[in-house]
Structure 1
């Protein structure tokens, strides 16, 4: 990768049906979902799970891997969401996102992510540190509404 080459990354807007205790999800509608946000101590920010592609890795595989590494949760990719473009470390960065339904798994704090929080979409949008991430919450809700 050259100095001017864009950093390629992939991530998810990871969602699940809201937990209501031991009984499982509260409702099977987009009104009853939660979105996962990760806290990165290195940047002291709240973000969506994402990360750089490894050599030979495609965007969907990277999105699944990064989500698992950062949240401890397996996921199933759904609709592609808008890509986000910004500068990081003086270089252009492209992050491709997918809606992703959470499967099994348990979070364990690590060097990159020390906390994961599951929040209703409006709360998640407010908690996100970076403005460029907020439209992804709306894009998730639109994608889920269209499939219902």
Structure 2
């Protein structure tokens, strides 16, 4: 069972949230002499103390908003960990504001590279214990997020790594393609989708890219490989052709990714994704439930982030969240 419920899909909005203001942020944390500290910001205009966050820019997905806003407000570049909740409240305009939060570790290198100086927006930042943060935060909604974060700390599963299951972007239909199915390319929309998911995937610290050797999968990860300056590992073991012929080997591919403990994305095909998610659950000893099927039911270029403990392998899947491109 996941400790954190899946995040709402980026492209799925209930009726009342259609007019909402969306934002994203993080509970940024670090260890100082073995003691956990979280980052609070003091805002100049509002004279308050809160968590770093900000509104979604046009075309952005929530995950990249969170990483961008943390960097803009604190000077620290982070990769996102486990989702730690969603806060909802009314603005003075009576619009709903919906803010998605993740846990995010600030590495020593990221802190050294920070160029933060007090400015018109942020007067100061400070690192405090969780208990002190509870007494200093200005808003009850922030306390709810902090409490969820604290439960992850208590469970010993705060430090995580993601294995991301990605469905290839929009490809030409079989009816419009005369060649072998494995050579079926992306449409123009699919190529735009492939570009649009680079930022969100990078937000989770992806460093390893594994893809089906089908053209439509290789094209989907090409913009990411370029951005990361890394080569993708192409394999027929997770291809649709191999899956249809009973020649796939999802277990070895996923097992290697889980054992590595490194952030990775695995790009495959709609019919293959349920098997990939099931193998992640099996590799981590997680009891499978409906959430596994939901995480595998992806639109073209959508992806599910499966968060696994980096320090406690027996914890199983910590959380799953799904993201859908806006293109």
TM-score range, shorter chain: 0.7 to 0.9
Counterpart of 2:75 in structure 1 is 72
The reply to whether residue 13 of structure 1 matches residue 62 of structure 2 is: no
Counterpart of 2:86 in structure 1 is 83
TM-score by length of 2: 0.40
Q: 4+ residue stretches of structure 1 with deviation over 6 A?
A: none
The reply to whether residue 112 of structure 1 matches residue 116 of structure 2 is: no
| RMSD (CA atoms) | 1.3
Counterpart of 1:54 in structure 2 is 57
Structure 2 counterparts to residues 121-136 of structure 1, below 5 A: 121-136=130-145
1:88 to partner: Cα distance: 1.3
TM-score by length of 1: 0.85
Counterpart of 1:102 in structure 2 is 106
Q: Which has the higher helix share?
A: 2
CA distance in 2, matches of 1:38, 1:122: 16
How many residues matched?
134
Counterpart of 2:217 in structure 1 is none
Per-residue displacement from partner, 1:81-135 (whole Å, max 9, x unpaired)? 1100001122100000000001312421122111001000110111000011112
Partner of 1:126, secondary structure, is helix
Counterpart of 2:325 in structure 1 is none
Show structure 1 runs of 5+ residues with no match. 19-25
CA distance in 1, matches of 2:77, 2:131: 24
Per-residue displacement from partner, 1:34-93 (whole Å, max 9, x unpaired)? 000001111100000000000000100000000001111111110011100001122100
CA distance in 1, matches of 2:152, 2:115: 26
CA distance in 1, matches of 2:134, 2:73: 19
Show structure 2 runs of 5+ residues with no match. 1-17, 158-308, 312-327
Partner of 2:46, secondary structure, is coil
1:143 to partner: Cα distance: 2.4
1:142 to partner: Cα distance: 2.1
Counterpart of 2:265 in structure 1 is none
Pair member with larger Rg: 2
Q: Which has the higher strand share?
A: 1
Greater RCO structure (CA 8 Å; 6+ sep) = 1
